[in-house]
Amino acid sequence: MAKTYRVGVVGFAHMHVTWLLDHFAALDNIEWVACADTVPLTPSLSDAPMTRAANIKHAEDEIGVPKTYADYAEMLDSEAFDIVIACPENARHGEVIEAIAGAGSHIITEKPPSASSADFMRAVRAAELAGVELIVNWPSTWSASTRLMKEIADSGEIGQVFQVKWRQGSIGPLPKLSEKQRGAEWWHQSAPGGGALLDYCCYGANISRWIIGESPEGVIGMTGNFASGYGDAEDNAALLVRYPSAMTILESTWSCVNHGASSRHLVYGTAGTLAVEGNGVRVFKDSGEGSLREASGLPGGRDSVAKEAIHHFETGEPLHPTLTVPINIDAMAILDAGIRSAASGKLEQCHSAIW
């Protein structure tokens, strides 16, 4: 008989929790058990879509999670889980994941890995000590065009990869709220791990580490709050990352109405350039227009983090690399060094797991 997985949720701060819930709800071997939120530093002033109040309501009313606890520690003591989805504020990943691991459950958390390398390593070591899996989900993992870009880069067709450029952005989280309401949301507050750097530079940190295949060495970072005066977190950031044989440029913005470019995701090699374009990758071998190659899609039965996780648990086959702890330790090291560099005005070293 196929195993039924008992699933719970801790944390509704990150709006992507609704997507994770939807992906697991689409499976027929899931039993929802219970959920609980973390307590925000500042109470939210809105229950609009994608706020934590709306996210909890989605879990209760749309997904059908049967119990909601006021205290996640009490929930973990009272219930048994196979998997817990963890989507608290970025700076609380270590605390929450440590508690879930201590309760003996596998953890699926949402990007970024945390708000600092130290906090992420707290989570990593807790999972290792408990013998449970820690999976970091990335929406970009489920992009067929990004996987095609990696495939072409690995084939050697564009020569040695020496630079990755990744720009990610929008007009910011919860843009329909008033400025007062946005200021009360953790996204715009530094202390709980808000800000555009962690929110968007994280994608390029994870993907460039995967594509380049080396651990990063150092980062120069710059941040600014140019259009979000209601919060103390940055709304724009840029990171310049040095690898042993390559470099990356990571850009993030919460104040951009249009990127003004056909591609924001680029890989440069000594014999060519790759640019994500729609559901494909444009390959340039010279100064011409290049040729567009369409992505063939994702592997059957493994096209969401829910399916990927269950497949991994049941077959023992490896997870997609971008979801794994080793690559996310390096991705978090980039972000951590970038934050420190923006504060110091100097190049900062990327710290390894041993450090």
Express each pLDDT in 73-111 by its tens digit.
999 999 999 999 999 999 999 999 999 999 999 999 999
Q: What total number of domains does the chain contain?
A: 2
Q: Are 8 and 42 in contact (CB under 8 A)?
A: no
User: For residue 246, what is the domain's CATH number?
Assistant: 3.30.360.10
* Domain limit, last residue, from 137, 168, 196: 137
Residues forming beta bridges with residue 291, ordered by sequence position: 283
Tell me if 310 is assigned to some domain: no
Q: Does the pLDDT at position 341 exceed 60?
A: yes
Q: Are 111 and 131 in contact (CB under 8 A)?
A: no
* Domain co-membership, 117 together with 175: no
* Domain co-membership, 72 together with 122: yes
* Domain co-membership, 84 together with 178: no
Tell me if 320 is assigned to some domain: no
Q: Does the pLDDT at position 355 exceed 90?
A: no
Q: Does the pLDDT at position 38 exceed 60?
A: yes
Q: What gap in Å lies between CA 9 and CA 25, rounded to an integer? A: 13
Q: What gap in Å lies between CA 318 and CA 130, rounded to an integer? A: 19
* Domain co-membership, 154 together with 288: yes
For 333, the 3-state DSSP assignment is helix
What are φ and ψ of residue 164, in 5° steps? -125, 135
Q: Does the pLDDT at position 353 exceed 80?
A: no
Tell me if 63 is assigned to some domain: yes
Mean pLDDT of 162-166: 98
Full residue range of the structural domain in which residue 250 is found: 143-300+331-349
Residues forming beta bridges with residue 9, ordered by sequence position: 35, 85
Q: Does the pLDDT at position 1 exceed 50?
A: no
Tell me if 308 is assigned to some domain: no
102 CB-contact burial (10 Å; exposed 0-12 / middle 13-18 / buried 19+) = middle
Q: Does the pLDDT at position 261 exceed 90?
A: no
For 22, the 3-state DSSP assignment is helix
Binning pLDDT at 50, 70 and 90, where does residue 352 land?
confident
Question: 């500042």: which residue's tokens?
Answer: 42
Report pLDDT digits (tens) over 109-147.
999 999 999 999 999 999 999 999 999 999 999 999 999
* Domain co-membership, 157 together with 283: yes
Q: What gap in Å lies between CA 258 and CA 267, rounded to an integer? A: 21
Residue-averaged pLDDT of the chain? 97
